[in-house]
Amino acid sequence: MALPDSLRAHGNMCWEIPTSHGASMRVPARIFAAESMLKSIGSDRSIEQLVNVASLPGIQEAALVMPDVHEGYGFPIGGIAATEYPHGAISPGGIGYDINCGVRMLTTEFRFKQLRNRFQALAEELFKRVPSGVGRGGLLKLSANEMDKVLNQGAPYMVAQGFGTQRDIHFTESQGRLEWADANKVSDDARRRGLNQLGTMGAGNHFVELDRVDAIFDRHTAETFGLEEDQVVVLIHTGSRGLGHQVATDYIRTMIGAMPRYDIVLPDRELACVPFSSNEGRDYFGAMAAAANFAWANRQLITCRVREAFDHVLGAERVGSIEVLYDVAHNIAKIEEHSVGGENKRVIVHRKGATRAFGPGHPEVVEEYRSVGQPVLIPGSMGTASYVLAGTEMSMRCSFGSTCHGAGRRMSRSKARREVHAGDLLKELKQLGIVVQAGSKRGVAEEAPKAYKDVDSVVDVVQDAGIARKVARVRPLAVIKG
């Protein structure tokens, strides 16, 4: 969709499409971006999708997108919408198919020079211990009763079974469990798809990565988070696997059929939604929360596999502990309290390719980080930098406590396969000192750095807009992918 003539500046690094642009718009549509980014953002359907999101029943304040925005299913990826609780809309398209896709960062006590000659061995061991690829199962298979416990209890259940520590849970968003989860609302098909997928990363842009902290921008906050220059850290990026995908599929179908009963008419059927307070809405929310718990359990088990890999490769050289810095979702819906029109209101915040970024002093930020704001983990593309940011008070005022989630695709996977030769890319990465362990060359080509926007520019926008601030930058040493 071409940029509309009605587009106007709305503060620093923010642009607004007013409600007068479209007959069905209930609120304005806002884009966080540098002016130089707008043309490329308008090259796909993401702005059209954003305008459509502004038509959701009960939507509050504005429909928002971040600078990593690109076209998705119904909602654009990078989209945020808050609807009135409890009667506003809940839309699976506003969360996405990979429910609670998110990022966890682990810190180690190693410096780069200590592991300089061990990254190949560590990558190979991680590739063995964390299965990857479409539909690939893991080393742990759940019984039906165990599946119920994972869905209802999330990461704390894994810790209770010996997979990790209470500290891991403490430094996870929502302590790794959404309490309104209801395993009974997850279909048998979804359960079957998830039975053996805990401890696996899947394919696409998911990865486990060894990184080196190469820049500190805010020394006080970095120290609070336990980060130092030249430190080796681990990033884990994955979600709820086939189980979450099936939950989305099941409930999109349900909601398409249910909308006429609630007199909901939308400009795009992919925005399928129902009132949150309806039976279908509550059922989806219970199933979505259960899938989110599954994803946190998945990242918890992968954390254990990372620790095992370090133990196996390093043996007596292993020093210190490998700790969770933070774990944060970027595909989720949550009931939160925000200021809307000067009034504190409970709202249903949809984040699809957007990261929670609560500011200093917020009660949901763990006490150790509350003075500086919540850690925000922004993965780059394979071979480029990733960032640790911190949430701000500004994000609470103008983006429902949210910011970007990554670089954002600028090229489809099929186009990337046509334009990128995987063998050449692997050679380039090797020359940069990056070890790659991947299940397929096709997957490597699809995730080439040129297929993504410039993560540095994306992060600069959210910092300049004041909705997150830079803390540290990390660069890859070893990448494990499907």
Residues 6+ away with beta carbon under 8 Å from 182: 152, 283, 286, 287, 289, 290
Sort residue 60 into left (φ over 0), alpha (ψ -120 to 50) or beta: beta
CA distances from 213 to 229, 339, 373 (A): 5, 36, 20
Check: CB of residue 103 under 8 Å from CB of residue 379.
Answer: yes
Lookup: tokens for 391: 């949430």
Mapped onto helix, strand or coil, the DSSP state of residue 348 is strand
Four-residue CA torsion sign, 105, 303, 438, 413: negative
The angle at the Cα of 481, spanning 117 to 309, to the nearest 5 degrees, equals 45
Four-residue CA torsion sign, 107, 112, 118, 119: positive
Pairing of strands 343-352, 29-32: unpaired
Which position among 330, 350, 362, 405 bears the catalytic label?
A: 405
Four-residue CA torsion sign, 356, 359, 365, 369: positive
Q: What is the number of alpha carbons within 13 Å of residue 221 lying toward its C-beta?
A: 24
Burial class (CB in 10 A: 0-12, 13-18, 19+), 482: buried
DSSP 202: B
Q: What is the number of alpha carbons within 13 Å of residue 224 lying toward its C-beta?
A: 20
Check: CB of residue 159 under 8 Å from CB of residue 135.
Answer: no
The angle at the Cα of 418, spanning 417 to 422, to the nearest 5 degrees, equals 50
Alpha helices (H) along 165-218: 166-170, 188-194
Q: Active-site residue 10, yes or no?
A: no
Which residues form the catalytic set?
405
